[in-house]
């Protein structure tokens, strides 16, 4: 490992609490370098693969901006993305730009403006098959992951970089300490997870924002399918590449993502949770508990598998970056996080509360742990009279699958399409903190059946409007600036505010399954009408307080038409209530409840969202 850190101005440090106000937060590394004169260059790193079949090893473009005049080597903040030319990054969809000689000018997002003057290099990597990189996208597979991992290797002197996409001369990173922090939202954060799961030396920290942890769970859910596939995403991000033919690789994606919800080799190759034990880097994770794109099971199961220093922010938003819902505190936290893990500054950022959770729009609380330290997995059972409690019931209840209906209809007017079970008005607050598991014993009337379930807070509240166009935020016209600007790359961004909404109920967790996968996620089995099958499936990870006077409800139905595809033969499904129960991680448990220690997050079962993964 290379040593030697850039000499920075002497400053004061103290412990950072995630909920602390920006004005009260301690200062970090100072902006002592001139951003306008920063060195901007591109290095093409050989990843040792020929994804586009042109007979040459693929090289990926790493666009670099680093301090000019640094007397010592500097650490690196890296964002590896497929979106730098096709779709853009951030709330303002920024793209990379270049001058007439091909030198990078515009670096999307604020990381370069803020951190380069403070003695960091920022490296933005085009994933293979995108923008100026050779190769083809493989949507979370080995080529995607190696696009960034090999750049980490190059920064540590272990692989070769070149001055051109083909030919050229070898280039070394003699300016780099080798310490790398990866950051990114959505697909970008997903690649950070994937690279961390390789255990690559030199990667000191990752900051995954609304990121995938297993690509199966992006496209499928415990046997059910969301109706879209990775080949479509590959074609989108390859649309503005340098003209390479990626049809063969896209065919591999099409064939590997089978039409049913079986978990096969393609998904196993893209399942980072199974390799979470390899992670050496610290993790600063953020996710919206109402993210219906990269669903919250992703953060829960990833968090559960990590055995490193880690912190988490959970907002009420959908698929939104913390820069756009808690900007000042987020920049403060990133500043101290990178100072500590990339420069070795003893500023205490790793101490204090592990979690920060948004309870109402712009109202945050710190929590010692996630899931909550005193949460216990509580077995609640549906009763024949529509109750949800700890007593074992008897009898059966049925619903008729109607794929034309979705979750909101289930809550407000389920009719025969879904079954609702409620605790009734609570006498004290109850916190749901972690990942719920639902076990059903179900008898289908046809040879195919889907199962869906919701946990619902029945009661009025003011929440972020996560279903709106901004997914919980409103973007204004005024701007504020974060760092230094230069010609073609300014540091100023539109200010976003909370988009509140009054509601009468809040869906706090969802889950979906194909009953045909009751015995195995790897191979569905034919169902015999009239035969009972038992299956356990997961509801998405969350942290939510159901207030006193509200009710906690469990709704069980067939095809939730808001999300999953229906079965070939929708029919009637009958539940055996004595053998149907939910294990819900709760704080505030009735004394008679059956409990055991709650798992530390979304315990991974190799098993999600919309097609737009930005």
Give the HSE-up count for residue 447: Cα atoms under 13 Å, Cβ half-sphere. Answer: 4
Taking the alpha carbons of 163, 166, 168, 174 in that order, is the dihedral positive or negative?
positive
What are the phi and psi torsion angles at 441 (to 5°)? -115, 110
The helix or strand, by DSSP H or E, that contains position 213, with its residue range, turns out to be: none
**In 3D, which of 587, 532, 66 has the Cα closest to residue 371?**
587
What whole-number distance in Å separates Cα of residue 117 and Cα of residue 106? 16
Catalytic residue among 291, 329, 499, 514: 291
Distances, alpha carbon 244 to alpha carbons 52, 121, 152, in Å: 6, 30, 25
Catalytic residue among 81, 143, 176, 186: 186
- Judge whether 154 and 266 are in contact, CB under 8 Å: no
DSSP 8-state class, residue 274: G
List all residues 6 or more positions away from 349 whose beta carbon is below 8 Å from its beta carbon.
15, 16, 333, 336, 337, 339, 340
265: buried, middle or exposed (CB in 10 Å: 19+, 13-18, 0-12)? exposed
Q: Judge whether 319 counts as a catalytic residue.
A: yes
- Judge whether 30 and 9 are in contact, CB under 8 Å: yes
Q: Judge whether 112 counts as a catalytic residue.
A: no
**In 3D, which of 241, 136, 231 has the Cα closest to residue 611?**
231
- H helices then E strands: how many in the chain? 10, 32
Q: Give one DSSP letter per residue of 101-120, joined into a string.
A: TS-EEE-SSSHHHHHGGGT-
The helix or strand, by DSSP H or E, that contains position 314, with its residue range, turns out to be: strand 310-315
Q: Judge whether 85 counts as a catalytic residue.
A: no
List all residues 6 or more positions away from 160 whose beta carbon is below 8 Å from its beta carbon.
45, 46, 154, 170
Catalytic residue among 319, 335, 544, 550: 319
DSSP 8-state class, residue 27: P
The helix or strand, by DSSP H or E, that contains position 454, with its residue range, turns out to be: strand 450-464
State yes or no: cis peptide before 371, omega within 30 of 0. Answer: yes
Catalytic residue numbers, as ranges: 186, 291, 319
């Amino acid at each position: 490992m290379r040593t030697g850190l850039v000499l920075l101005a002497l400053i004061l440090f103290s412990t950072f609490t995630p909920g602390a106000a920006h004005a009260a937060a301690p200062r970090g590394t100072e902006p002592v370098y001139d951003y306008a004169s920063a060195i901007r260059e591109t290095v093409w790193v050989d990843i040792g693969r020929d994804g586009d079949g042109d007979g040459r090893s693929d090289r990926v473009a790493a666009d670099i901006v680093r301090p000019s005049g640094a007397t010592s080597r500097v650490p690196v903040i890296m964002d590896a993305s497929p979106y730098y030319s096709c779709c853009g990054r951030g709330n303002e969809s920024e793209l990379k730009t270049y001058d007439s000689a091909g030198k990078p000018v515009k670096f999307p997002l604020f990381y370069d403006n803020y951190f380069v003057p403070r003695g960091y290099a920022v490296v933005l990597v085009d994933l293979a098959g995108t923008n100026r990189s050779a190769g083809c996208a493989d949507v979370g597979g080995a080529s995607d992951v190696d696009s960034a991992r090999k750049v980490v290797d190059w920064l540590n002197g272990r692989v070769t970089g070149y001055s051109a996409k083909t030919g050229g001369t070898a280039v070394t990173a003699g300016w780099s300490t080798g310490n790398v922090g990866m950051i990114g939202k959505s697909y970008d954060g997903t690649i950070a997870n994937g690279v961390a799961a390789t255990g690559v030396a030199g990667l000191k920290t990752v900051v995954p924002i609304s990121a995938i942890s297993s690509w199966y769970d992006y496209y499928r859910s415990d046997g059910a399918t969301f109706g879209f596939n990775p080949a479509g995403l590959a074609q989108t991000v390859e649309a503005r590449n340098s003209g390479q033919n990626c049809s063969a690789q896209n065919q591999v994606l099409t064939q590997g993502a089978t039409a049913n919800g079986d978990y096969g080799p393609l998904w196993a190759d893209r399942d980072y949770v199974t390799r979470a034990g390899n992670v050496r880097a610290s993790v600063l994770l953020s996710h919206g508990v109402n993210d219906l794109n990269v669903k919250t099971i992703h953060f829960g199961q990833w968090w559960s598998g990590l055995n490193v220093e880690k912190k988490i922010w959970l907002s009420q938003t959908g698929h939104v970056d913390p820069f756009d819902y808690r900007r000042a505190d987020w920049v403060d936290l990133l500043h101290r996080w990178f100072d500590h893990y990339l420069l070795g500054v003893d500023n205490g950022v790793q101490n204090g509360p592990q979690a920060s959770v948004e309870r109402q729009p712009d109202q945050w609380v710190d929590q010692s742990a996630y899931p909550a330290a005193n949460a216990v997995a509580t077995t609640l059972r549906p009763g024949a009279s529509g109750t949800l409690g700890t007593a074992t019931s008897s009898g059966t209840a049925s619903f008729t699958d109607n794929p034309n209906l979705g979750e909101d209809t289930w809550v407000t007017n389920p009719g025969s399409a879904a079954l609702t079970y409620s605790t009734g008005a609570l006498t004290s607050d109850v916190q749901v903190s972690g990942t719920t598991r639902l076990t059903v014993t179900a008898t289908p009337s046809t040879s195919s059946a889907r199962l869906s379930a919701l946990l619902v807070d029945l009661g009025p509240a003011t929440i972020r409007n996560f279903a709106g166009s901004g997914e919980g935020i409103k973007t204004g016209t005024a701007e504020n600036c974060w760092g230094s600007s230069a010609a073609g790359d300014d540091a100023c961004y539109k200010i976003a505010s909370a988009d509140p909404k009054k509601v009468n109920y809040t869906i706090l967790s969802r889950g979906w399954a194909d009953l045909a996968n009751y015995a195995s996620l790897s191979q569905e089995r034919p169902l015999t009408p009239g035969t009972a099958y038992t299956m356990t499936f997961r509801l998405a990870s969350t942290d939510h307080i159901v207030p006193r006077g509200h009710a906690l409800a469990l709704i069980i139905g067939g095809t939730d038409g808001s999300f999953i595809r229906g079965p070939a033969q929708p029919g009637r499904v009958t539940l055996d209530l004595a053998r149907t129960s939910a294990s819900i991680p709760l704080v505030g448990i009735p004394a008679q409840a059956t409990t055991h220690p709650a798992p530390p997050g979304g315990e991974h079962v190799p098993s999600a969202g919309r097609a737009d993964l930005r």
